[in-house]
């Protein structure tokens, strides 16, 4: 599999793009040095139905499921989504701020959206992630490292402790680090 490359516009070359309106400019002079991993499925535990994409594009259809009604009016996004089969979709340029971490803090700095890239893995806290997802995440992480000042990877649960639990207890941090060639001190 060929390596992924990020172009000068902050978009990964050759990857499916669906532009989310839920983004804005990063604060001037901010170095992007954190990768935040999440999990998502809508409704929880249901995969491959396009609802995450619709959420990130403000096109949620609340009448389709009671859980979706809870998300009506929510404006969120992530830079990337890695589906169960490893398919990668980009929603926001890495040069922009995606709205993925919410109230968050890393090493005393609040507002992690300002200085992070958010990757959603299609999944839940209660299901193992697929080998294809780890492979895609590793390829993406290598591409991000080539163009950004990344120095750490954390789960949403680490930057929003007590409020979030993702990517969940079944995410295999060691497997990810091995596949992405990450130094141990980058991980939680």
Say how far apart CA 110 and CA 102 lie, in whole Å: 10
Distance, first Cα to last Cα, the chain:
28
pLDDT tens for residues 23-58?
Answer: 999 999 999 999 999 999 999 999 999 999 999 999
- Indicate which residue of 83, 107, 120, 122 is catalytic: 120
- What is the average per-residue pLDDT within 181-186? 94
Token digits for 187? 């991980």
pLDDT tens for residues 65-94?
Answer: 889 888 888 999 999 999 999 999 999 999
Q: Which helix (H) or strand (E) is 145 found in, with range?
A: helix 131-147
- Residue 104, pLDDT > 80, answer yes
Q: Is 130 a catalytic residue?
A: no
For the chain, the structural domain boundaries read: 16-186
CA Rg, the chain, in Å? 15
- Tell me the CATH number for domain 16-186: 3.40.80.10
Q: Taking the model in full, what pTM does it have?
A: 0.97
pLDDT tens for residues 153-176?
Answer: 999 999 999 999 999 999 999 999
């Amino acid at each position: 599999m060929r390596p992924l490359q990020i172009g000068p516009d902050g978009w990964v070359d050759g990857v499916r793009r669906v532009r989310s309106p839920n983004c804005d400019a990063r604060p001037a002079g901010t170095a992007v040095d954190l990768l935040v991993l999440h999990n998502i499925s809508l409704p929880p535990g249901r995969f491959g139905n396009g609802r995450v994409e619709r959420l990130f594009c403000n096109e949620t259809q609340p009448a389709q499921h009671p859980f979706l009604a809870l998300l009506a009016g929510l404006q969120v996004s992530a830079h990337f989504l890695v589906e169960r089969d490893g398919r990668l979709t980009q929603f926001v340029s890495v040069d922009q701020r995606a709205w993925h971490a919410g109230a968050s803090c890393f090493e005393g700095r609040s507002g992690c959206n300002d200085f992070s890239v958010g990757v959603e893995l299609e999944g839940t806290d209660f299901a193992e992630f697929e080998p294809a997802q780890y492979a895609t995440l590793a390829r993406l992480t290598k591409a991000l490292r080539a163009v950004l000042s990344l120095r750490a990877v954390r789960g949403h649960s680490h930057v929003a402790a007590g409020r979030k639990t993702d990517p969940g207890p079944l995410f295999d941090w060691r497997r990810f680090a091995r596949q992405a060639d990450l130094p141990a001190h980058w991980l939680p």
